[in-house]
Structure 1
Amino acid sequence: MALASLLLTACAGQYQAVPPSAFPPPLMETLPMAVALDIAPAFSTYTHTETMTGTRGATWTLPIGPASVDWVQNLARARFSSIEGGRSAALRIAPTIERVEFSLPSQTGSDFYEAWIKYRVQITNAAGQTVADLPLAAYGKSRDGMMVGAETGMGDALNQAMRDATAALALALQDDRKVSDWARSSGAVAGGV
């Protein structure tokens, strides 16, 4: 019985694509203010599991929470002068993952692994009032190659999606009118962000 179960698992395929947790620091002005990161366990441990149709029932497990924490922390370190854990921070940033989708080369007839991650980042002030609620739609792809396995290809696509999310949030923190107006009116940063 155990052998039959093992053979079925091998035929169906179990894949775990762990995205590389390497993100270059964004090149942006560092603001002289403290920020707190509210990283919920649901975010830091987020894992997407999906059994694919049309691929003999292959099951993909994508543990994207740890790498997502890394890109958010990396961005916060680049943008703000300090990250605090207490309630005294001028801003609090709370990221969530709302949705994950992916496709395989065998599904699309292309040479790419593709990943879409929908994040939401809520930014609140020290009093808990919402400053901004930012949806981030991120996309990444990785070319299928002879020397790259399926798990590595998908992991690279997920990493590219996270880099896309980093860029989107960096721009939002720089250009979002609500964040800029708050920073200017609160005196947290002279002239806004």
Structure 2
Amino acid sequence: MLKTRLLVIASALLLGACSQHVVLRVDFPEPIVSQLAQPVIVYIAPELRRYVHRYEPEQGTDWTIVFGDSQEKLFRSVFNGMFEQVELVFDAEAIPEDATVFTPVMRDFQFSTPGMSKTDYYEVWVKYSLRLSRGSGKPLLDWPFTAYGREEDGGGRSAAGAMREASRRAMRDAAAAIVLNFLRQPAAKKYFAETTTADSGRNSP
């Protein structure tokens, strides 16, 4: 009987060791850049707020990576730094037809562990696209970009902790990509030049 109980306990421990659960709890500092006065809406779709990545190989470790509210925090921080007036919206029906709207979309999430890559790093790649539109209309720009983060194995950090840190760094890389590159896209540059000029004209005495 004792032997059977020990086998059951050992099996449970083995199964636990073959599964990793990561919950991202991340805060992002607002970027310090010149802000545009144009009011904007950032639409956070339900699938972005609820994104969970599951990796279940036939052999090896299962991974579950839960993004939670980290996506919302990321884009709130980014756009609060870039624009003077920002409103986050979670219901597409609540978007005014004449609003300037950003819609971030998470296209793909991939990761690698030291065991997979035979390196000393946990690595994360996140593929996003960022849409710019007027109201709920057709996007004026759908800009794809990929963010990357990595964390070295060891240092007393658990596998889940290392994956969490690599994911955090990838999301900070995403923030930097948006701040540095989005408004340089010709369609975005043209749109904000035109809307800023139009708003200035309406506000002139």
The structure-2 alpha-carbon separation of the partners of 1:105 and 1:24, relative to structure 1 and needing over 3 Å to count, comes to same
Give 1:170-185 correspondences, 5 Å limit.
170-185=179-194
Maintained 8 Å contact 1:116/1:161: yes
Maintained 8 Å contact 2:97/2:134: no
Maintained 8 Å contact 1:114/1:142: yes
Taking the aligned partners of 1:29 and 1:67, their CA distance within structure 2 comes to 24
Taking the aligned partners of 1:189 and 1:34, their CA distance within structure 2 comes to 10
Q: Which of structures 1 and 2 has the bigger CA Rg?
A: 2
Maintained 8 Å contact 1:90/1:188: no
The structure-2 alpha-carbon separation of the partners of 1:151 and 1:189, relative to structure 1 and needing over 3 Å to count, comes to farther
Between 118-127 and 139-148, report the one with greater CA deviation: 118-127
Letter in 2 for 1:136: F
Taking the aligned partners of 1:156 and 1:51, their CA distance within structure 2 comes to 21
The structure-2 alpha-carbon separation of the partners of 1:60 and 1:72, relative to structure 1 and needing over 3 Å to count, comes to same
Could you tell me which residue of structure 2 aligns to residue 149 of structure 1?
158
Residues paired across the two proteins, number: 187
The structure-2 alpha-carbon separation of the partners of 1:97 and 1:43, relative to structure 1 and needing over 3 Å to count, comes to same
Taking the aligned partners of 1:145 and 1:87, their CA distance within structure 2 comes to 50
SS at 1:115 equivalent: strand
Letter in 1 for 2:12: L
2:165 is the alignment partner of 1:165: no
Taking the aligned partners of 1:20 and 1:181, their CA distance within structure 2 comes to 36
Maintained 8 Å contact 1:95/1:121: yes
- Consecutive aligned runs of 4 or more in structure 1 exceeding 6 Å deviation: none
Unpaired stretches in structure 1, ≥5 consecutive residues: none
Taking the aligned partners of 2:79 and 2:98, their CA distance within structure 1 comes to 13
2:83 is the alignment partner of 1:83: no
Could you tell me which residue of structure 2 aligns to residue 99 of structure 1?
108
Unpaired stretches in structure 2, ≥5 consecutive residues: 1-7, 90-94, 201-205
Maintained 8 Å contact 1:122/1:132: yes
Maintained 8 Å contact 2:131/2:142: yes
Task: Pick the aligned partner of 2:147 from 123, 138, 144.
Answer: 138
User: Superposition RMSD on alpha carbons, in Å?
Assistant: 2.4
Task: Pick the aligned partner of 1:39 from 36, 44, 60.
Answer: 44
Taking the aligned partners of 2:158 and 2:34, their CA distance within structure 1 comes to 38
Taking the aligned partners of 1:157 and 1:71, their CA distance within structure 2 comes to 15
Letter in 1 for 2:78: L
Task: Pick the aligned partner of 1:10 from 2, 5, 16.
Answer: 16
SS at 2:78 equivalent: helix
Taking the aligned partners of 2:117 and 2:199, their CA distance within structure 1 comes to 47
Letter in 2 for 1:21: V
1:57 to partner: Cα distance = 2.8
Task: Pick the aligned partner of 1:74 from 77, 85, 100.
Answer: 77
Q: After superposition, what is the alpha-carbon deviation per residue over 1:13-62, rounded to whole angstroms, capped at 9, x for unaligned?
A: 21112234122221211111211111111001100000246xx4311011
The structure-2 alpha-carbon separation of the partners of 1:89 and 1:51, relative to structure 1 and needing over 3 Å to count, comes to same
Q: Which structure's relative contact order is higher, taking Cα pairs within 8 Å and 6+ residues apart? A: 1
Letter in 2 for 1:62: I
Taking the aligned partners of 1:6 and 1:97, their CA distance within structure 2 comes to 35
Task: Pick the aligned partner of 1:62 from 65, 70, 78.
Answer: 65
